[in-house]
Every structure is written in C-alpha cells, then in structure tokens.
Chains A and B, each alone.
Chain A
Amino acid sequence: MDVSDRLIGRRTVLGAGGAGLAGAAFGGLARPALAQGKKFKVVLSNSYIGNKWRLEMENVFKAALQMEPYKSSIEGSWFNSDNDVSKQSQQLSNVIAQRPDAILINAASPTGLNGIINQGAARDILMIAFDNTVTTPKCLKVNTSQSEMGRAWADFLVKKMNGRGNVIMVTGVAGTEVDQARIKGAEEVFEKAPGIKVVNRYTGMWDSSTAERNTAAILPSLPQIDGIWCQGGTDGVIKAFISANRPVPPVAGEAENGFRRFMVGYNGQKVDGLSIGQPPYLSVISLELARRILIGQHPKQDLLVPLAPLTSDQVKLGETAFADQPDSFFADFTDGGDHPILKLCVTAALDGTPCSGRLDVNLPAV
C-alpha cells in the first residue's frame, strides 16, 4: 500500500494545499479530532540537546504536555538529532510517515530542512519552526526579535548612564545570525547617544567561563566602565569585575540564574541590571500555537514573541531567580514580566515535572 496515495487522498478531502498559509482563515485547518475524542499528535524535532537551554526547552515542553489543556487534547513526542542536518531530515521524514497533526522544529540548519519541511507541509502537516527557524515559507515561525533584544539592552544602559560614559560589549558566537542581529540592534541605539563610548568589544562565546576569562584578561587595560552590554555569560563578566576589585556598573545581560542572583543581591554584591533571555518556553508557545490552529481558533501566521525583560526591581527570589539552582541555569523558563505569556514552576524546567494547575498561554496578539 502506498502511503503517499493515501495522503494525497486525504488532502483532496480536506481541500487545503500547502501554499498560501499566511492568508488562511480561522479554522481553515481545523480537524475533527477532538470531536471524535481523539488527541492531536504533535511532535517536537529538536536539532540537539547539548546545552542547558535546549534541555530546559525540552523539559518545559514535556511538562506542558502533562498539564491541561494539553494533557487531554495533545499526544506529544520529541526527538533529538545530534545537530546533524541529514539526521534531522531523516527523522523528520520518519515523523511525517507517522502522520502527526503538527511538527515543531528547532532546526539544525535554516535551509537544510526546507526540502523535507515542504514535503511535510504538502502532506497537510502543520509545520512550525521556533528558536532556530527555517527559510521555507511553508513553515510558520515562532521567535523573538534578536535585534530588539540588543536594542533593549542598549536602551537600558543609555538610560542608566544618563547618556554618557564607557561601555563594553561582550558578544556571542561570531558569524551567527543571532550574534549579528543583537549587535546591530545595540549599535543603532549607541550611535544615537553621542555621550556613550564603546571602549571595547570582545566575545564571551555565550559561555560564562569564557566570558569571565576574556573579561579578566582585558579588564586591566580598560578605563572606568560605566555599563556592561553582554549577550551571554553575563554572570562570568560580573565575577571578573568583582575579582578585579572593580565596581560593577549597570549590566544589561541574558537570563542566567547567576546574573539574576546578582540582581537580587549575591555575595554582598547587588547589581543594577536588565535581564532578557531567549525564553526556553518558545517550545510551549509553539505547542499552543499548533493547538489553537488545529482547533480552528487561530490563523496560520508567524508569531513574534515579545521579550520578557526583567529589572533588578522586578526580579524575585524563588520565582525568577533561584538560590538553590546553579548559575548556569536559565531563569527565564517562565515569563517574569507584569503581563506574562505563561507561568511555569521551576520543576518543569529542571526535569519536565508538570506544575500544579492549568497552563494558560496567552499568545501574543497577531
């Protein structure tokens, strides 16, 4: 029996092709699954699980699947592929063969999966890419704006420094799109503030120990620093300042627990800072988007997820900073802002244990 024949047959019945997704009306893809008491099948294809962020991202996805409304309506599964494009592509074809209703993808390559994603879309499967998204138009994208993040960090510093003083920029992995977008966003702001002088720019590789080492090496040659702009490894940069007996100026940085703890007050240091991270719960937002589209309550559109900035005044121990977690833990697994998209408990991020109660995800307005 030829599976593709069967799939083509189904596509005719549903009458929805793979093209023109953005304009599809509400309910255009709504499926009768719920009516028949069946669950939607949603699969997460994660390109790799080699760092803490990816672990938390997968853990909150697992936790969400065990919480309402997903528990009763979604049958979820997940796969990792060692950051190998051809392996992820092969796994995706296996996923497609299982005919799920939606596939969520954190991609190993922005283009390398286009072929197989197009095939999935052609078979009427809802394809959603998040975090590391893809270029094919046959796939919805869920992500934050990286340039906006860079801009927000820079804005914070300009304000804190009253528009004048010395800034260092600790960048990420050179050559990546994310690194470039964040720097570009920051530069736009700093250019408009003539009093701000970027006295040095070096990489921290998005890694605390590298950031600490590089900062310690470069610090003796630097004048007084009035602001730190850091893409990642923020706690490492702060530690280097402390070891060198330099006062820690206002810091705009990522969402490492170590940084958040300094924002609360840690080892006698209280850092005035702004913490914004790439939220691990992008997976849960993508899950919610898939669910809403499948039940016909959301248009098939890309989602720009607003940032969840957190200042030293807002950060709370036990909610958005954790004394009992390592510094490298990403503390933004839950939205700590005033109008949160979602609220998750720490166990969800740690090992995928569901939180009590229902998980309400307020999708950002389109």
Chain B
Amino acid sequence: MIIELGHFALILALPLALIQATVPLWGAERRHAGMMALGDLTALAQFALIALAFATLVNAYITSDFSVLNVAENSSSAKPLIYKISGVWGNHEGSMMLWVLILTLFGAAVAWFGDNLPAPLKARVLAVQAMIGAGFFLFILFTSDPFQRLADPPLEGNGLNPVLQDPGLAFHPPMLYLGYVGFAVAFAFAVAALIEGKVDAAWARWVRPWTLAAWCALTIGIAMGSWWAYYTLGWGGWWFWDPVENASFMPWLVGTALLHSAIVVEKRDALKGWTVLLAILTFSLSLIGTFLVRSGVLTSVHAFALDPRRGLFILVLLAVAIGGSLLLYAVRAPALAGGGLFAPISREGALVLNNVLLTTGAATVFIGTLYPLFLDAVGGPKLSVGYPFFDRTFVPIMVPLLLAVAVGPFLGWKRGDLRGALERLWIAFGLALALGAIALYLSQGGPILAVGGLMLAAWVGFGAITEWVGRTRLSWRRALHLPRAAHGMTLAHLGLAVTVAGIAASAWQVERIAVMHPGDNIAIGGYTLHLDRLSGLDTPSYHAERADIRVTAGDRAITVMHPEKRHYPLEQMTRGETAIRTTFLADLYLALGDDDGKGGATIRAYWKPLVPWIWIGAVFMALGGVLSLSDRRFRVGVARRAAPASAVTEAGE
C-alpha cells in the first residue's frame, strides 16, 4: 500500500509542475503578484510530494519488499543496510527518482530562500525549473516507473551489482546529481534572464552561489568516482576517459568556465551573452551526459538503461530543453549589450582566456567521446578513441591554462600590467624551476613529461600562495578582512596545483607482480612485503580469499595489509578488494590475484608516489568553493545590497 502512495505522489507532482511552468510565467508577463507567488507554493508542494515518493521507495528497499519489481530486481535481504539504501539509486528507475528529488529540492530552495529576488525573475526561474521537472516526471511515469508491483513476489531479490556495493560508489551518484541538477538552477536563471531581456550584476550575484554549490558537488562526485576506480580496479588506474566519466567531466569544465565568467558579469558588467550561453551549455552537457549514459548510444557498466524508448524520450526532452533555450538565446542574446570595456591584458582578459581554454577542452572531450559515433554515421572507418587522443589534445590545452592560472589573479581589472604581474611571480617561477631540477635529477632517465607536469603544478601552487601572501601580508587582521571568496580562490587554485602534481607524479609508479607462497617476501618502494597467510572468509553476501601481508621497512614493522578477492554467489561475480596504505606522500597498493593451486597466489604490489594528491586536490577545490559560498555577499538577504567595495575587496576577486 505504501508504495502506491509514493506512486500517487509522483503522479500528483506532474500537474503541479505543469501549473508552475505556466501560471507564474504568465503572471510575470502581466505583473500579477498572485500568479507569480503561486510558483513558490507549487515548488514547495512538489518537493514535499517527490520527497514522499522517494521515501516510500527507500522504505520498500529497507524492508526488502520484493513485491515491488524494482526492489526484487536490485536488492536482496542479506545486504547491509547502507547498500539497501544506496541500492535505491543503483538502478535506472531509482536514480531518476533521485534526480527529480534533487531537482525539486533546488526548486523549493529557490522558492524558500529567494525572497529578495525580484518577483518576476523568481517566477520565471521557477517556471523554467518546473518545465524541466515536468519533462522528467513524464519520463519516469511513462518509461521508468519504479513503483510497479509484481503479482508473484519472489522470496529473495536479485541483489545489487557487487561493483556498486562499495562506499565510494554508494555516494558517487548523489554527488554527481547534486552537481548536474544544481546547474539546472543556473540554466533556469539564464533562460529567465533571456525572457526578461536583462542580465546585470545582481543577476550574476544570484547565479554564482548556485553554480558554486553545484560545481563543488560535481567536483566531489567526479573525485569519488575516480577514487573508486582507483581502489577497485586492482592496478590503481584512476581515470580512463570512459564515456561516462567524460559525461560528468564536460559539465565540470564548462561549469568551471561559467563560475569565472559570472565574476566578470558581476564585477564589470561585461561578457553577459557569453555567460548566459555558458549557463545553458553547462546544463545541456549535464542532460547530454544523462542521455549518453541512459540511451545506450554508448555502452558502459554505468549504463543501466538500454531501452531505446527511453533514449528517444530523453532525446526529445533534450531537443526541447536545449533547442528551446538556444533558440531563445539566438533571438534575445544580441540585445544583452555589454557594459565594461577592457584591454586584452587585464583581469577580464585572463578570465576570457580561462573560458576559451576550458570550453575548448570540453569541446575536445566532447569530440573524443562522440567521434566514433560520427564516423559511424557517415560510414567512415570505425575508430576507437582512447588515451592517445585525449593525451594529445586535451593535455596541451590545459598547459597554457595552468600557466595562466598563476598570472590572472595579479592582473587588474580593465587594464593589467603583465610585466608587473610576472615580476611578482619570480619566486614562484624560481621554486618551480628548482623543483623541476630536483625531480629531473632524482628521476634520471625517467619520464620527462612528468617533470614538466610537476613544474606546472609548482608554478600554479606557489603562484596562488604568492598572491595570497601579497594580499594578506601574512597578517591575521588583513586576512580576516578579506572576503572569503578571495580565500576560496586561493584554496581552489592550490587544490588544482595539488591535483596536477598527483597526476604528474603518477608516472613514477613502481610495480611488482609475483606468485607468492606463505613465507615468501618481495621488496618494493623501500618496503618489504611478507606473505604470512592465505585464508578464506565467509560473510552473508560473499566468500572471500584473503591474504595477510606484513609490511616492514628495514627492521621496522609498518603494518599488516589484507587484500581480498571476493566472490558473490547470488550475483555470480568476483571482485577484488585492494589493500592500500597511504602516507599521503605515496600509496602502497596491494591486490590479490588467482591462487596457483599449490597454496600460493599472485600478488600485485604497486608503489605510487603522490597519487593521493589527486583527490586531496579535488577536496581542496571543493572546499575553496564552499569557502566562497560562505562569503557575505552571497548570503541570503545581502544579494541585492552590494557590499561596499574597498580596494582590498576589489583586488580579491
């Protein structure tokens, strides 16, 4: 009965969304306060209904109600509670429910916290938001209904794909969705602004926090996915240019560009048309990402839905949402006259360069992801695009970006002094050179590109620190008076440097693969690994083979590590469980392979310098975003009262 209640709530949300998509829009046109205010009510009600629907689905999973088709197909009673809950979005139907839950949550947040928005803008934003919502409700109800009952409930469910039974993957989709859907708000603001024909600093100040919040979530979501790949896949790869990874990376790149160009709109009243376009593109790429993953146009393990009907539905949704907004853009954007003029060498110029490089990067990823399909369409030879393509196209685009990241914050608005900026960066330049020389010396004959990467990272990192030191002059008082957004920028740029360093240094990894018997030992990265024991282990959901490996350095005992190989009988799958010991400067990474039938087993050991920095850097970036988000200017109630701009504040953005 409860699940039907959820179904009913979802159905009821559809007409509400349709009302919200039309009445407030019309009200905004006629300046009718009552009609505009209706949007708030429906947005809150929609969220309540979807939350109820989602809760009933979660309840069905927790209580293992196998009379619900979706639960029977994707859950089992023997799973730990956390994977019963994460199983809700571990399948196509449930993940779409999560999508609309987050969408309506953001809609309700705009309604609730948006009191200081101009009423017509708010009404239009909510209307656009509801259009997206209505599209997705229809999609769920007609093609992906998670609330279907089974006439003959089975005694046990099919279980959750063991690959997904993992803390990293359990929270990876919700974070990604928070990002994707958060960009829907920026999109709604952009479309509303086009309808209104007005983009100003206040608009940018409203868009930025939403974009920032979505960007932070997406950053963490992508990092989690990559971290998951790292510790699951058994040899420590962390990025594969897989279509699904690319689908989340493209909105991130364009979203990063949007964050930066919105600053120009806010501060200088320029780049308006471009910023609106970026807001549309960011969400469009999120939608295209969904389409790619769900339609079966590209195959991947993440692709739950291989139903062409769903693909077609999403395609129509895509055509209406993106096509409609771009049409509106083509008609209205030329009227968005930019105010501030600026010289090429200026803060604005640097941000334009950032935008151009980031969007070009996103375009290469887009082409790399879809190129094989295009070739297929024109009957050309089949080609597969992998690492080599991305290494040769994407990476070179990022090099000038990294070079510019350190310089940009030193340039003034309108007209910057490039020489002055570079002079202030000489220490960072020297440190980067010194680090490069040391790395070159230590890795004689090693990968030369990695040394270059490390130098770039040092340049970005020390550049960010130089800029921060210059602004705070290392005084607490000055630091506290700076807007938090300035500290956020420093932290995010520092995070970028840390990530780049981690990526560059991964070229220096060492690996040993050996068949070991209890009592054997091997040496790697200054450690000695002793295999003490191989044993079996049974739990309700899997059977594991497990190795006890003692790690010593010289005479010193470091730790005991337990790589496992797990077999899931219900799902008929085997999965490795790697053991990782990190010092934050390097990881020792162990994976257990097949046994040799004579009491021994293959052990794969890796020593990976600086690899944890890849994700630590991502966390820094997200924290930088959160810090900016907590800036006074963005706080509820201050949005329209422009903060008095002191010289310090101005320099800090």
Verify that A and B bind, or say they do not. no
A residues contacting B by CB (< 8 A) are none
Chain B contacts to A: CB under 8 angstroms: none
